[in-house]
Amino acid sequence: MVALLGLCVLPPGAALADEDSTGAGLTAPASFRIAPHGGKPRPDREKNILIRYDRGEPRGDAKGSTLTLDVTGSSGVLRLKQYGHGCSGTDRKVVCRVGGTYDSWTDWAGALPRAAPTSRPGDKGELHISFRDAEGDMSRATTRIEVGGPILALREQSPFRMGAGKGNTAALDVRNTGELPADGFTVTATVDEELGPVRRSRSCDYLSHDGPTIVTCRFPGVRLEPGEEAHIPNWLVLRGSRSLMYASFRATVTLLGSGADNGGLDGSSRSTSEPSPPGTPRGGTGPALTPQVRKASGKSKNYSEQKTVWTKVRIANHPDYAVVSELSAAGDDGRHLRVGLRNDGPGNPGGGGSSSLVLTLPEGTEVREEPMEEIDTDTFEPVCRHHGLTYTCPLDTAAPGDSSVLDFEVRKSKDMGRGEAKAALKLGDTEADHADPDATDNTRTFDLFGPVPDEAGPGSKTDLVVVLAGVLGGCVVLTGIGVLTRRKLRER
C-alpha cells in the first residue's frame, strides 16, 4: 500500500492574539513544528509557516506597512532566517516593509523560524508577530513553536492485484519517522467507485457521493514512539470491478489531537487541501480495526511522507481485441484505408495500458495522407513513426464494444507487384491477469489494392471486418485539407 505524510502543526487554528492587540486581520497558526538543529528536515509540505494579514481593502501605499517577527524571548530555542527583500534585523528579530496586505507564502519578504543550536527535540518557544499598517493600526499574534515532532509515513505498495468481483484485503502500515511520540492518528482513503468497500468497520466513517468512497479511520488510542510502526492487516476490504482492468486508491495520514499539518490556518496545507465532499459520512458497524504496534522493520525507503500516496490496482479482467479494417476507393488507383482494433470485452482498460499498431504496406505504395494530431493551434505532426513503409502507431484504449481506427490514403505505383499489407498489434500489457484470451486475431494480411465493389462511385467502400488485438486511439480525418486527426469509431 502506499504511504504518506508527516505532520507539523500542533493544534490547528488561528494564532493567539496578544492581549494588547488593537487591530484585526493578522492570522497565523496557533502552533508550528520545526526541524531540530542539524536533524531530519520536516517534509516539504510542512516547512513554511503561513502568516497572513488582510483587512479587506488595502490601506495606505504599496510599501507603507511593517511586519515584525520576534523570537528574542525564546532565543535558547529559536532563531529566525530572513528571506526575500525589504527586511532587516538579526536572527532574533526581523522587521520587513510590506504592502497593505501580506501572505508569507506568496510575498517575497519575511523570516522563517529555525531551531537554535542549543535546542533539543521537544523544546518549545514563541514567535511573536506584529503588523502595523500605513495608518498606524497594530495587530499582534503569537505562534507556539516546538522543535521536532512525530512524522507519520505510510508504507508504499507495488501495484495491488485483485480478482474480478471478489473481495480483496489491503493492509495498512503507519510508521513514526520523527523525533517525538505520536498519540493517535487518522488515515483517510479515497477509493475509486469500481472498488467499493464491502466490509465496513466501526473504526471508520464512509462517505459516498457520485463516485469515489471516502473512508476515514481514526485510531485515538494508538501511541507510536519514534521508530515504531502500526500494522493493520484488514484495513480495507474492496471488491474488484467485473469489467475494469485498472483502478487506484489514495491515502493520507494525519496526527490526532495535538497535531495537524503545518502551515495551514485550518490545520491543512492550503496548497494541497481539497474541498470536503457533500453528504453525511456513515459509521461502519463491523468489527473494530486493531493496529498491531511493533518496532519498525525494514528500510524507510518503503515509506513515503508525501501528503498523498497512491496505490495502483490491477483487476483480473481480460479484454478480447480484434483487428478491424475498411477499404474504399480514393481516386485513380487509390485506396482509403481505415485500420484499427475492436475490443470485444469484457475487460475495459478505462484509459490504462498501452498498445500500438504496426502496419506494413507493400513495396511501391505511395502514402498520400497519414494520421496527424494537433499539437498546438493549427500545428500538426504525424501520429505514427515509420521506417520505410512500416508504420508504428500508438493506440488509445477502447471500451468493450468500441473500436479505434487510424486513416491512411495510399496509391499504388504502376510497376508494383502483389499489394499485400499486414496489420499487427503490439500489446503493452501482456501479463496473465490481462492477457487477451484469443491472440489469433491480433494479426492479419489483406490485399491493399484488390477489387473494391462499386469502385467507380466516389466514396464507395467495402467493409473488411478483421480482428486485431490491441487498443487503438481514434483518429478523425479532416478531408478537405488532407489532415488526419485521432477519432474514436464505435463499431456497428
Residues ≥6 apart with Cβ < 8 Å to 173: 1, 3, 154, 155, 229, 230, 231, 232, 303
Q: What is the pLDDT of residue 353?
A: 78
Residue-wise pLDDT for 417-453, tens only, equals 778 999 999 988 989 999 999 999 999 999 998 887 6
pLDDT of 86-112, one tens digit each?
999 999 999 999 998 999 988 989 999
pLDDT tens-digit series, residues 313-331: 999 999 999 998 999 998 8
The predicted structure's pLDDT at residue 174: 95
Q: In this predicted structure, which of 175-184, 327-336, 449-458 has the lowest mean pLDDT?
A: 449-458
Residues 47-68 have a mean pLDDT of: 80
Say whether pLDDT at 137 is over 80.
yes
pTM of the model: 0.76
Instruction: Give the residue, 482 or 318, on which the prediction is more confident.
Output: 318
pLDDT beyond 90 at 235: yes
On the question of pLDDT at 180 being above 80, the answer is yes
The predicted-structure confidence for 62-79, as pLDDT tens digits, reads as follows: 678 999 999 999 999 999
Q: Residue 143: what pLDDT? A: 93
Question: Cis omega before residue 346 (within 30°)?
Answer: yes
For residue range 203-234, list pLDDT tens digits in order. Answer: 999 998 778 999 999 999 899 999 999 999 99
Residue 391, all three cell numbers: 508504420
Q: What is the mean pLDDT of residues 282-301?
A: 85
Interatomic CA distance for residues 67 and 265, integer angstroms: 18
The stretch 378-391 carries a mean pLDDT of: 95
CA 22, CA 43: separation in Å to the nearest integer?
36
Mean pLDDT across the chain: 82
Retrieve residue 427's grid coordinates: 500489446
Comparison of pLDDT for 457 and 6, the residue scoring more: 457
CA 376-380-385 angle, 5° bins? 125
Q: What is the mean pLDDT of residues 368-392?
A: 94
Between CA 281 and CA 218 the distance in angstroms is: 13
Does the pLDDT of residue 5 top 60, yes or no? no
pLDDT of residue 351: 82
Rounded alpha-carbon distances, angstroms, from residue 135 to 34, 61, 86, 88, 429? 34, 10, 19, 22, 67
- pLDDT band at residue 263 using 50, 70 and 90 as cut-offs: very low
**Which residues contact residue 388 at a Cβ distance below 8 angstroms, ignoring those fewer than 6 apart?**
none
pLDDT for position 196: 85
- Is the pLDDT at 241 greater than 50? The verdict is yes
Lowest mean pLDDT across 119-133, 163-177, 459-473: 459-473
| pLDDT at 451 (0 to 100) | 81
What local confidence, expressed as pLDDT, does residue 124 receive? 95
Q: Which residue has the cell 517575497?
A: 108
349 has pLDDT over 70 = yes
Q: How far is CA 378 from the centre of its chain?
A: 30
pLDDT at residue 30, as a whole number: 87
| Residue % of the chain over a pLDDT of 90 | 57
Mean pLDDT of 292-312: 84
At 318 the pLDDT is 94
CB neighbour burial string for 265-298, b if at least 16 within 10 angstroms, e if fewer: bebbbeeeeeeeeeeeeeebeeeebebeeeebee
Residue 404, pLDDT > 90, answer no
pLDDT higher than threshold 60 for residue 273: no
